[in-house]
Chains A and B, each alone.
Chain A
Amino acid sequence: MTRRVDTIVLHGVLIAGGLITLFPLFWMLSASFMTSGEATTFPPHFLPHHGTLAQYRELFLRLNIGRAFLSSAIVAIAVTIFSVLFGSMAGYAFAKLRFGGKQRIFGLLLIALVIPPQVGMLPLFLLMKTFGLVNSYWGAIIPSMVTVFGIFLIRQFMLSVPDDLLEAARLDGASEWRIYWTIVLPLARPILATLATFMFMSTWNDFMWPLIILSDQTHYTLPVALANLSGEHVLDVELMMAGSVVTVLPVLLLFIALQRFYIAGIMQGSVKG
């Protein structure tokens, strides 16, 4: 009997927690379909009385948010491709190739995990300035093209690739690049998907560096454009909610589709590390 009660209480708490967690996202979505002013009426509307796409039309047709969407997509996709390629190459070398100083170099790289990126941001900006990359997509992409986290993640996975397999290929006369490309990469597909999901989402959501390096509206990514808009449209609640939906929805949907890989990445980074 008490076990039954316990189970009911347990699920009551789980559901209450879930509702509280989802409420801000639900309200963001709901208010984005309201007419201007509806989100601030008394008594409050939880759902739009006459659902409208007016806020989205305003965002895309007049405020040109599509451009920021495109910028975000360009930067996030480029970072994802480069970081998976370079990260897997380095991760493979650290896991499977023999060369002098391997442990020492790898240990040095791991130091990067406790250095806050802000420490390097000022000189990085000056460096980008000398390269003429301020206010360009490359300026936003280059610093994330490879991450120590990614190298670490892939190395951990590749340690379990059997050496015999690689030796056999070497005896068959396969080049090192060919071994990596045709044997190692296909085996590593799950971890590559994990890293790709991780990098895409973190780049899409990134704010501080894009804010610094993208100084002109033509290159703003969504978070930067949104922060900028929120200054000018403080009172347009419904419009800002629509802008938030446009920013959040792609990553949220991607997460729901690929959460297996995303959560595996967190587990790998914590438990096995």
Chain B
Amino acid sequence: MKSERRAALLFLAPALVLLTVFFFAPVVAGFALSLTDFDLYTIGDPHNIRLVGFDNYRELIGSSIFWTSFVNTMYFALVGGPLTVAVSLAAALLINAKAARFKALFRTVYFAPVVTTLVAVSIVFKYIYHPRFGMLNRALDTLGLPQPDWLGNPKLAMLAIIILAVWKGFGYTMIIFVAGLQQIPEELYEAARLDGAGAWKQFRHVTLPLLAPTFLFVGIVVAIGQLQIFAEPYVMTRGGPLNKTVTMVMLMYEQGFKFWKMGYAAAVAFVLFLVIGAATLVQLKMQEKR
């Protein structure tokens, strides 16, 4: 018993030390940092650091670029999140259909974008979205449809990034939905059929309610991921046009690592943390109500 405790300590030591020093301590320090005026001069001489209370948060609330990044991030999450969930549920239903053949092949194909490198596919999509020679506008041209400047138009840029994010991410949640669907007992569908329920009624009254726990998990995972959006706009638009694709993480990166306004950037990061926490809590509460 005593030797077991000592062994446990040794087995846990590397993980606990690494997580404490390189994850938990920096997170706590991040909050402390957000209460200081840490900037370029502090990097040169650490003695310059001053506690400024919640000044960074006040500056944040008063600055328009912060609100722009907040609105952009929420737009990306609130449109892109549900869209990803809808597309992945549809794909899961198709793949899971009894009549479907080559399930493994389709699963691999739909999942492939998930494992690709975000930076690389962002570059690929940047060219696909090119107003003149991009493949998307050429297809629209063939169909006789208008051909917008996807990434150059302030109204469309974030939408174009959302489409990339859905393409990149739906395979992941699809797999989770397939796992959820396979746990629904076949007898329930049989009973519903005996009661004369058609495909839609079966979906509405058997599939959806029984997928509720899966929806909760998917919703939380997708929201956490979406709110951290950074690489797509960094590569495709650099936050433009007209700051329409500046996100909260991007603002944190630029303020913190380009201008070295680390106190301010840490405050941005903490607000992001609160937003993610709120998004998780809201979904947990919604689930409880149901």
Contacts and interface: CB of A to CB of B under 8 A. Distances in A.
Interface of A: 3, 6-7, 10-11, 13-14, 17-18, 21-25, 27-28, 31, 39-42, 44, 85-87, 89-90, 92-94, 97-100, 102, 105, 109, 112, 114-127, 142-143, 145-146, 148, 151, 176-177, 180, 201, 204-205, 207-208, 212, 222-224, 226-227, 230, 237, 240-241, 243-244, 247-248, 251-252, 254-256, 259, 262-263, 266-267, 270-271, 273
A101 to B, nearest CB: 10
Interface in B10-40: 10-12, 14-16, 18-19, 21-27, 29-31, 33
Interface string B228-252: 1011001100000000000001001
A116 B272 contact: yes
Interface string B198-210: 0000000000000
20 contacts: A11-B100, A21-B109, A24-B125, A41-B133, A86-B14, A90-B15, A92-B11, A98-B4, A99-B8, A114-B277, A116-B276, A120-B26, A122-B26, A125-B257, A205-B116, A223-B119, A255-B111, A263-B107, A263-B111, A270-B217
Interface string B102-146: 000011111111011111110111111000110100100000000
Closest 6 CB pairs of A and B: A120-B26, A176-B7, A123-B29, A90-B15, A244-B120, A223-B119
Contacts of B113: 21, 24-25
Given A21-B110, A119-B26, 17 more contacts: A11-B101, A14-B100, A44-B135, A105-B12, A109-B19, A118-B272, A119-B272, A121-B256, A143-B22, A146-B18, A207-B230, A244-B123, A248-B116, A259-B111, A270-B221, A271-B176, A273-B217
B183 A115 contact: no
Contacts of A151: 15
B270 interface: yes
Contact of A87 (B10, B15, B180): B15
B5 A98 contact: yes
B269 interface: yes
Contacts, number: 270
B127 A114 contact: no
B15 A119 contact: no
Contacts of B150: none
Chain B interface residue number, banded: 35 or more
